[in-house]
Amino acid sequence: MRDLVTSPHVAYRDGLARGVLLFQRCDACSAAVFPPRVVCPSCGGADLSTEQSAGLGEVYSTTAVAAKDGEPYAVCLIDLDEGFRMMSTVTGVAAADVEIGSRVTLVVEDGDPPRPTFVGGTGR
């Protein structure tokens, strides 16, 4: 049984606090696993290794969400190069200009908790 210190969520959160995005890879079937889990959703294997993402990926889908105050923001599904998908946002560009298929780079925004976001998102 895993204790709290080694729980995958704690490892993930501590990674963000250090400015890095962690994911897991199944030792049995090599599937990239995200968000953090204790069992591989592909094969049921319980041996998952923690790896650090390079933070590079591609916009899989994007939606401009109206903000109560200010400009709309982009809620996106990002396919990371390591083979997992995560929900995040692309900043630094108008939400309507984020393009599906464009390249993005991770930026961990300071905060409590720190937030994984992406920049880029236009051009291919």
Spatial distance between the Cα atoms of 106 and 113, rounded to a whole number of angstroms: 16
How many residues line the site for Zn ion (CB under 5 A)? Answer: 8
Among 22, 32, 40, 74, interactor with Zn ion by CB under 5 A: 40
Given candidates 16, 21, 26, 32, which one binds Zn ion under the rule CB under 5 A? 26
CA distance 92 to 104: 11
Q: Which of 66, 115, 61, 64 is nearest to 93 (CA)?
A: 64
What whole-number distance in Å separates Cα of residue 21 and Cα of residue 14? 9
User: Binding segment for Zn ion among 26-34, 53-61, 102-110, 113-121 (CB under 5 A)?
Assistant: 26-34
State yes or no: residue 63 binds Zn ion (CB under 5 A): no
Shortest distance (Å) from residue 30 CB to Zn ion: 7
Stretch that binds Zn ion, among 13-21, 24-32, 53-61, 87-95 (CB under 5 A): 24-32
Instruction: Tell whether residue 29 is a contact of Zn ion (CB under 5 A).
Output: yes
Q: How far apart are the first and last CA of the chain?
A: 45
Under the criterion CB under 5 A, does residue 32 sit at the interface with Zn ion?
no
Tell me which H or E stretch contains 50: strand 48-52
Interacting residue ranges for Zn ion, rule: CB under 5 A: 26, 28-29, 31, 40, 42-43, 45
